[in-house]
Chains A and B, each alone.
Chain A
Amino acid sequence: MMRSGPIRKVLIVGGGTAGWMAAAALARLGSAGVEVALVESDEIGSIGVGEATIPPIQSFNAMVGLDEREFVQRTNATFKLGIEFVDWLKPGSGYIHPFGRFGADLDGVSFHQFWLKQRSNPRTAPLENYNICALAARLGRFSPPSPDPRSVLSSLTYAYHFDAGQYAALLREHSERRGVARTEGIVVDTLLRAEDGFVEAVVLADGRRLDADLFIDCSGFRGLLIEQALESGFEDWSHWLPCDRAIAIPCASPGPPLPYTRATALGAGWQWRIPLQHRMGTGYVYSSAHIRDEDAAATAAARAPGEPLSEPRQIRFKAGRRRKLWSRNVVALGLASGFLEPLESTSIHLVQAGVSKLLAMFPDQSFNPVLEAEYNRLSHLQLEQIRDFIILHYKATERGDTEFWRAVAAMPVPDSLQRKIDLFRESGRIFRHEDELFSEASWLAVLIGQGVMPRRHDPLADTIPADEVQVTLERMAQYMRSAAESLPSHPDYLARLGASPMIKLRSAS
């Protein structure tokens, strides 16, 4: 029997970053008469390691009412201008995938076409020298964007690295202040309605039962509701993304924090380095088919840039997505919705995007299937696009030094990705489809960084004579470099924000 009327109660199952992000965003529904509650167990650890993010996090924080200064202090955050990819193309190589754009378009033709036209000229700088975020990152500088639209510093775009556990704690404070009720407990069972298979309530270990109209499943990989109760199904992407384990080692910072993430390709996967104010997050994401756990742990420990601060933790996962992220009256967020390795810092963004879509399509008790279908369609599209972008880093490699790299270099890739690679290889064209997350600039940075060189450039770039283009490129590179050099150092900027005194000490030494 179809129900009607507005949703009166939302229950978020599971805490951690996903659960508390959902709580903080949904808390605003309280003023519209919707009760929002969250159940989590202090016993179940959340994955939260050092997290890296992408620029949309700023609007999420603004939306939930977090002040940037408070956020940076409470989560031991540092700033992020991009990601450096070391040894991905081949050992000894390195490129930055920065935020923001490259150069400036001329006469309706993309900047990079002019760069391609002049790339054989020895005085043409590497592509990343035409992006202010990349330049600042390499110099260890940081500042928020300038309000003056004429300055290249107005195009500085940034995100953060932060301690996920502390972020969840901060969001919890905000949520509880706005009326979100937290219950401590472990969910052991889910009760379904006989008439339509919707979730009626969850049952806790101590026997308590929590009813709600809408459930947000943030219970992690297990997907207590979306999978165990509603059997949504899982689409496995491990044939494209073979990494299935990670070993995380928080360690002491070897020096002042850099304003970017580093991902270093290793024999069976990659190592991450995420700088926080109070420590460094590092670890090895690897494929268990290509390296034994003990060897991966040893490698991760040997490569830790500072003294380990706690026992290494192993995490197991499978790359892929739930067939339905929204099923009946359950919406899955975070690890319950699927997993893509954090190579491009997308995990937290996917929670943010999921919550925004849910708010835009907030159902009533009739749970019109049209909303569910649209939510799933958009979510699937987004996951596919991110998946393709990550696969690119593996596929477009010249490495062949281990079985792992030989396998990923040879694997067939999704059509959607192959078309993008072919189009770019032909004459350097990139198009963003369906409002996808990654911009043309992002695709450009990784395609060029991973050695996918276009055969030719856009013929329309030939309207401007080569010597004129060369002069423009050289002037632009010079101007951007001096602009980057005028910025304060990243540790100095953090100190100004009232960051942890440990940072001040280091930069003074």
Chain B
Amino acid sequence: MSGPFHVMIAGDGVAGALAAAVLATRLPARSHKVTLVPSVGAPDDTLGRVEPSLPSIRRFHAEYGIEEQELIRAGASFALGSAFSGWSRSRPTYFLPFGDTGAPLNGVAFHQIAERVRANGQQLSLGDYSIAAMLAQTGRFAHPSNDPRTPLSTYTYALHLDVAEYRGHLLGIARRRGVAIAAAPVVETNVAQDGSLAAVQLQDGNVIAADFFIDCTGSSAQLLSRMPRYERLCWRRWFPNDRSVELLTRTARAPAPYSHLAREEAGPWSRVVPSASGVSELRVYAAATQQPDQAEAALIENRVGEPAGEPAHRQLNFGRASVPWLGNCLALGSAAARIEPTAATDLHLIHSGLERLLQLFPRSRDCGIEAREYVRAQTLESDRCRDFALLPHRLCGALAEGPRELEDKIEQFRSRGHVGLLDGDIFEEQDWASVFDGHGLRQRRYDLLADAIPIASLHAQLARMRHVMLQAVAGVPSHAETLDRIRRRTAA
């Protein structure tokens, strides 16, 4: 092999910009070259204008030198979890927090303790024992503490990102680290005799040959779909919603430190993701139940801020590429998988896909062995994200039966409050327990070992826990104050 190993990234939305920034940081410059080719039309047709994320984003940014402070200064804000209204038949609203709920007592998981307390006749809400939930409810935010003795070390957080700013920031990093940016998008792909991708043709006539291609072109999967043996798995039978309309709004109010998902009786649901620079208001519905103009009217009528642009209508086609790495072409973002955004997994899957790629980075176009391991692990993770995203639909009764792995988890929980985590699961037992609890799904039996703790002692310990938590929360500044303080810090 002569010359540097050339990686071409097609599509300059967030996925492509992330790939460019991260690869340019990690690949040895002497032996590798990265080229980024713009998207056809507007980039990021699947992400919101403000996109939520999961706590995994913290480590990812730290790992690749993406400064959180700079993102905050550009308008991002913090998130402590998601509030779900109108989904549960037993409770008007429940919260899915980032971080711990309660703490194990005598080695017994907190949700098992909670169930024992309920079985004894006392009401208990898991959200009352979650620092993240308490902070979110009262509009507070500060970075968690490293000191394990304080309850303020038991939560974590994610970011609400202004997508255009995030993308711009990443492109800046990519350029500074030597990524070549082509001038025109891809119009044609040249698949070689051996089934590998050899080159692409751009709209301006240029031809770019490369050794490895990363498809970040969005749901059309321009490159991957041309590869032999490409197949797409459609998840319509689980995700019947196939349309969305989104509006970016502005408000003088300080952004809440969480996203809010509200479901209507008839089926459509909305998601509000606030940030310091604007609010993304999204409405997801099924074309069979509503016309686009009706959905748009409902969105505008229920808006929380003032419109700062035109509503954007989209078609949704949830599913994934059956094999997201074929030959020497890897898909990232919605070219690989598209999941209904109830669990904020879109950005996470791009981050984890990139990390996995780096762990398995190929040396040549002949990379079947690396591809096989990547596909195994990444598709497991995508499918498990799909299951968690389906969970609220399944529990509220909109979906009669989900994929087998999801049904197994629900049944195991119902039986004994046990959550059998599988390879690829990114959400923890506590997260599943929070959602089950929110929907009023009770376990038939709780962990026997919870019975070993006398009930009076349990009540006392829980009361003390809540007291200590409330005291700690009271000392935390407001979200607005924290954002302000960070923005005022002068850049180094």
A33 interface contact, C-beta 8 A? yes
Given A360-B418, A370-B415, do A429 and B370 touch, yes or no (CB 8 Å)?
A: yes
> How distant is A435 from chain B, measured CB to nearest CB, in Å?
7
Closest to A378 in B: B420
A311 interface contact, C-beta 8 A? no
> How distant is A105 from chain B, measured CB to nearest CB, in Å?
11
Closest to B358 in A: A460
B436 interface contact, C-beta 8 A? no
Closest to A427 in B: B363
A74 interface contact, C-beta 8 A? no
> How distant is A3 from chain B, measured CB to nearest CB, in Å?
13
Known: A28-B452, A368-B416. 12 other contacts (CB 8 A): A6-B445, A361-B418, A362-B448, A370-B411, A371-B412, A374-B412, A423-B369, A426-B369, A431-B373, A459-B32, A460-B26, A462-B31
Residues 328-372 of chain A: 1 if any B CB is under 8 Å from the residue's CB, otherwise 0? Answer: 000000000000000000000000000000011111101010110
Chain A residues with Cβ under 8 A from B238's Cβ?
none
B474 interface contact, C-beta 8 A? no
Chain A residues with Cβ under 8 A from B30's Cβ?
462
A310 interface contact, C-beta 8 A? no
A398 interface contact, C-beta 8 A? no
Count of residues in B whose CB is under 8 Å from the partner chain:
34
B449 interface contact, C-beta 8 A? yes
Residues 26-48 of chain B: 1 if any A CB is under 8 Å from the residue's CB, otherwise 0? Answer: 11101110000000000000000
Listed A/B pairs (5) with beta-carbon separation below 8 Å: A29-B449, A360-B418, A423-B373, A459-B5, A463-B28
Contact surface of B with A, Cβ cutoff 8 Å? 5, 26-28, 30-32, 63, 358-361, 363, 369-370, 372-373, 377, 408, 411-412, 415-416, 418, 420, 422-423, 444-445, 447-449, 451-452
> How distant is A26 from chain B, measured CB to nearest CB, in Å?
10
Closest to A373 in B: B408
**Cα(A99)–Cα(B195), bound, Å:** 44
**Cα(A364)–Cα(B360), bound, Å:** 45
Chain A residues with Cβ under 8 A from B420's Cβ?
374, 378
> How distant is A2 from chain B, measured CB to nearest CB, in Å?
12
Given A419-B372, A433-B423, do A460 and B415 touch, yes or no (CB 8 Å)?
A: no
**Cα(A474)–Cα(B182), bound, Å:** 44
A422 interface contact, C-beta 8 A? yes
Chain B residues with Cβ under 8 A from A31's Cβ?
451-452
On whether the beta carbons of B449 and A32 are closer than 8 Å, the reply is: yes
Most chain A CB within 10 A, of B26, B30, B412, B445, is at B445
In order of increasing CB-CB distance, the 10 nearest A-B pairs are: A31-B452, A32-B451, A434-B423, A462-B28, A368-B415, A32-B448, A370-B411, A426-B369, A463-B28, A374-B420
**Cα(A366)–Cα(B359), bound, Å:** 46
Per a CB cutoff under 8 Å, which of A33, A419, A434, A460 touches B27?
A460
A458 interface contact, C-beta 8 A? yes
**Cα(A508)–Cα(B28), bound, Å:** 56
**Cα(A419)–Cα(B447), bound, Å:** 39
On whether the beta carbons of B447 and A362 are closer than 8 Å, the reply is: yes
**Cα(A366)–Cα(B444), bound, Å:** 11
On whether the beta carbons of A431 and B377 are closer than 8 Å, the reply is: yes
> How distant is B50 from chain A, measured CB to nearest CB, in Å?
29
Given A423-B369, A458-B361, do A29 and B415 touch, yes or no (CB 8 Å)?
A: no
> How distant is B77 from chain A, measured CB to nearest CB, in Å?
28
> How distant is B27 from chain A, measured CB to nearest CB, in Å?
7
**Cα(A368)–Cα(B414), bound, Å:** 10
On whether the beta carbons of B445 and A364 are closer than 8 Å, the reply is: yes
Contact surface of A with B, Cβ cutoff 8 Å? 6, 28-29, 31-34, 107-108, 359-364, 366, 368, 370-371, 373-374, 378, 419, 422-423, 426-427, 429, 431, 433-435, 456, 458-460, 462-463
Per a CB cutoff under 8 Å, which of A362, A458, A463 touches B416?
A362
Per a CB cutoff under 8 Å, which of B27, B361, B422, B448 touches A6?
B448
Closest to B447 in A: A362
On whether the beta carbons of A459 and B31 are closer than 8 Å, the reply is: yes
Given A458-B361, A459-B361, do A374 and B408 touch, yes or no (CB 8 Å)?
A: yes
Most chain B CB within 10 A, of A359, A423, A459, is at A459
> How distant is A117 from chain B, measured CB to nearest CB, in Å?
12
Most chain A CB within 10 A, of B30, B31, B448, is at B448
Chain B residues with Cβ under 8 A from A460's Cβ?
26-28, 358, 361
**Cα(A119)–Cα(B448), bound, Å:** 54
Chain B residues with Cβ under 8 A from A433's Cβ?
423
On whether the beta carbons of A429 and B448 are closer than 8 Å, the reply is: no
Chain A residues with Cβ under 8 A from B418's Cβ?
360-361, 371, 374
**Cα(A294)–Cα(B377), bound, Å:** 49
> How distant is A292 from chain B, measured CB to nearest CB, in Å?
43
**Cα(A423)–Cα(B412), bound, Å:** 35
> How distant is A152 from chain B, measured CB to nearest CB, in Å?
23
Closest to B366 in A: A426
> How distant is A326 from chain B, measured CB to nearest CB, in Å?
14
**Cα(A29)–Cα(B450), bound, Å:** 10
Chain A residues with Cβ under 8 A from B451's Cβ?
31-33
> How distant is B384 from chain A, measured CB to nearest CB, in Å?
12
> How distant is A214 from chain B, measured CB to nearest CB, in Å?
12
Closest to A462 in B: B28
**Cα(A366)–Cα(B443), bound, Å:** 14
Chain A residues with Cβ under 8 A from B359's Cβ?
429, 431
> How distant is B223 from chain A, measured CB to nearest CB, in Å?
22
On whether the beta carbons of A426 and B452 are closer than 8 Å, the reply is: no
Chain A residues with Cβ under 8 A from B358's Cβ?
108, 460
**Cα(A367)–Cα(B28), bound, Å:** 57
Per a CB cutoff under 8 Å, which of A33, A370, A456 touches B412?
A370
Chain B residues with Cβ under 8 A from A423's Cβ?
369-370, 372-373
Closest to B31 in A: A462
**Cα(A224)–Cα(B283), bound, Å:** 61
On whether the beta carbons of A371 and B416 are closer than 8 Å, the reply is: yes
Most chain B CB within 10 A, of A362, A370, A419, A435, is at A370
Per a CB cutoff under 8 Å, which of A6, A371, A435, A458 touches B415?
A371
Chain B residues with Cβ under 8 A from A364's Cβ?
416, 444-445
> How distant is B107 from chain A, measured CB to nearest CB, in Å?
8
**Cα(A475)–Cα(B373), bound, Å:** 34
Chain B residues with Cβ under 8 A from A108's Cβ?
26, 63, 358
**Cα(A360)–Cα(B449), bound, Å:** 10
**Cα(A371)–Cα(B419), bound, Å:** 11
On whether the beta carbons of A459 and B412 are closer than 8 Å, the reply is: no
**Cα(A31)–Cα(B107), bound, Å:** 14
> How distant is A114 from chain B, measured CB to nearest CB, in Å?
13
Chain A residues with Cβ under 8 A from B423's Cβ?
433-435
Closest to B359 in A: A429
Closest to B445 in A: A364
> How distant is A249 from chain B, measured CB to nearest CB, in Å?
42
Chain B residues with Cβ under 8 A from A370's Cβ?
408, 411-412, 415
Most chain B CB within 10 A, of A29, A373, A431, is at A431
> How distant is A51 from chain B, measured CB to nearest CB, in Å?
26
**Cα(A398)–Cα(B412), bound, Å:** 47
> How distant is B238 from chain A, measured CB to nearest CB, in Å?
21
**Cα(A435)–Cα(B358), bound, Å:** 21
Per a CB cutoff under 8 Å, which of B377, B411, B449 touches A28?
B449
Most chain A CB within 10 A, of B63, B415, B423, B444, is at B415
Chain B residues with Cβ under 8 A from A362's Cβ?
416, 447-448
> How distant is A4 from chain B, measured CB to nearest CB, in Å?
9
**Cα(A379)–Cα(B174), bound, Å:** 47
On whether the beta carbons of B361 and A422 are closer than 8 Å, the reply is: no
> How distant is A381 from chain B, measured CB to nearest CB, in Å?
9
> How distant is B441 from chain A, measured CB to nearest CB, in Å?
14
